[in-house]
Structure 1
């Protein structure tokens, strides 16, 4: 009798960007590391927790380099590969760059997962890379206790088009390009609580490439960008605030949500990472009085392959939002503003 094939998610302790290190621990680890050094051409390193490293070449072109990988948040191997690839490529888009090639990062529990399943993960990732117009040109694989898949991605941008997370300006408006709720959906998937149409929406948003990023970066009124992933909207908003030395105000009622996210959050479908995120950075966030926990969980919900958070000139925010929607991101919304003040974040009702 054949041994049943285990669910991918049953082989991992967590899934997607929800398995990132605690943001407080990560900040401490990075703070304890030596500076990257006096490399004149290193325009972006790890000093502001930005999305990727940026290296300037002689002709005004910049190389953008990143890596991202995680454990499964879905059981379909092809979907896992596609989601992981989309998420990794996003870091290049968030810096204003265009990807040019990828290398696969693969860790699989040999003997616990069928080779055919692993091949399907790789096919899913390669297929998504083909949609982005780049090859998977190589990679590395090891035997691991849990399934792991992701990419190292190289991209390029003109130096003037690189967008950092630390260049927000006081008075800017904030635009979010995708709906929030991926972590909540993931929790519901694991507990068989996701409504029937939810899985298709989940896959659609997590495999939607943030390719609008480099187009936005050609606009001088777009000042800063980052992608919203494992630390949630508040965590990545705080990264912009700290890097820019400014204060962000998020309008909770304006934040776009996946269809069932609010109802599922009310019903308790939240991830451990959401609690972890709040414990790590909640002291730097001002909430309205009587703000319910389920609404807070939406704002700390870990996003796998989430949208871009864009800081842009307020006078052009509506036009930029409409441009993003027309490019294929119908939930894009103006969700807040950048203010003077000590680095931190405030949530308004």
Structure 2
């Protein structure tokens, strides 16, 4: 991401997501900024902080300071504190057989970022993935709170980041002692990402994820198909992955569809009985 303001926005959205994924509300945030002051203009650092602040404000939280150091490489992150009622904490370990799996953002940001770095994708794709990565997971988190307030249960939640859908779903199934079944035609993808996979435009992290998690993937289709690499694609500020009973899932989808959330939330599969940690792709 070359634009410093958007860089800050995406970083903040990614950091805030950890609180949303646990059913919490962000309250405070602190910046951590490493500045290569000998090679970059001070204005770049200002724009990064402004971008991050814009998302903290959007989340309804307060930016209460932070730390900056001189470094050879630009680094930016946020430490975020949130609150949640002890009885309402969401973990990735509560998924149960029969739960549906809801994904709230499309996959493919790692692949398309790689295409942009290789100058194979244009400004339209960069604008699209910037919008996806900079969008807070606040709306899905609010939808979860709304349906729970009406008495519906949500069993588990996590956000999709560096380990890709494959890795984070595996963590959920291992922690919950269950198996997952994904329906590939229902998984939302950013337009063009499959084409770039077929061209071999794939981030190193996707190869690493696929190599590590492939022993738990049971593909009922064509082994080695591009979709396997998309599942392993490392996401920056990806969506929430929610495990909930079918009645709750229906309510969540209705809640999201009636909001101004810009992406299509999808039911992408289910939790089934079987070997813990296994993910079946059909």
TM-score, normalised with respect to structure 2: 0.93
Q: Do the aligned residues in 1 keep the contact of 2:116 with 2:122 (CA within 8 Å)?
A: no
Partner Cα separation in structure 2 for residue 262 and residue 242 of structure 1: 28
- Whichever structure has more helix as a proportion of its residues is 2
1:290–1:175: structure 2 CA closer, same or farther, 3 Å change rule? same
2:144 to 193, 216, 223: 216
Deviations 1:312-347 (A, max 9, x none): 102342332232233315321000110122212323
Q: Does 1:205 align with 2:132?
A: yes
Partner Cα separation in structure 1 for residue 61 and residue 224 of structure 2: 44
Partner Cα separation in structure 1 for residue 175 and residue 123 of structure 2: 41
1:344 to 264, 277, 282: 277
Partner Cα separation in structure 2 for residue 237 and residue 216 of structure 1: 19
1:138 to 65, 70, 80: 65
Partner Cα separation in structure 2 for residue 83 and residue 199 of structure 1: 13
Partner residue, 1:3: none
Q: Do the aligned residues in 1 keep the contact of 2:6 with 2:130 (CA within 8 Å)?
A: yes
Deviations 1:118-161 (A, max 9, x none): 11111111111111111210111122232110100000111222
Partner Cα separation in structure 1 for residue 29 and residue 254 of structure 2: 31
Q: Do the aligned residues in 2 keep the contact of 1:237 with 1:345 (CA within 8 Å)?
A: no
Q: Do the aligned residues in 2 keep the contact of 1:98 with 1:214 (CA within 8 Å)?
A: no
Q: Do the aligned residues in 2 keep the contact of 1:161 with 1:217 (CA within 8 Å)?
A: no
Partner residue, 2:81: 154
Partner residue, 2:250: 318
Partner residue, 2:211: 279
Partner Cα separation in structure 2 for residue 311 and residue 329 of structure 1: 21
1:232 to 159, 164, 168: 164
Shift of 1:281: 1.9
Shift of 1:214: 4.4
Q: Do the aligned residues in 2 keep the contact of 1:79 with 1:203 (CA within 8 Å)?
A: yes
Superposed, 1:109-128 pairs within 5 Å as 109-128=36-55
Partner Cα separation in structure 1 for residue 251 and residue 60 of structure 2: 28
Partner Cα separation in structure 2 for residue 229 and residue 268 of structure 1: 21
Deviations 1:291-331 (A, max 9, x none): 34422111001110000000010234233223223331532
Q: Does 1:101 align with 2:28?
A: yes
Q: Does 1:191 align with 2:118?
A: yes
Partner of 2:155, secondary structure, is: strand
1:247 to 174, 179, 197: 179
Partner of 1:304, secondary structure, is: coil
Partner residue, 1:331: 264
Partner residue, 1:177: 104
1:329–1:317: structure 2 CA closer, same or farther, 3 Å change rule? farther
Task: Judge which range, 97-106 or 216-225, deviates more.
Answer: 216-225
Q: Does 1:268 align with 2:171?
A: no
Number of corresponding residues: 276
Partner Cα separation in structure 2 for residue 334 and residue 274 of structure 1: 23
Partner Cα separation in structure 1 for residue 221 and residue 188 of structure 2: 22
Task: Judge which range, 338-347 or 155-164, deviates more.
Answer: 338-347
TM-score, normalised with respect to structure 1: 0.76
1:324–1:345: structure 2 CA closer, same or farther, 3 Å change rule? farther
Partner Cα separation in structure 2 for residue 173 and residue 136 of structure 1: 36
Q: CA RMSD for the aligned pairs?
A: 1.5
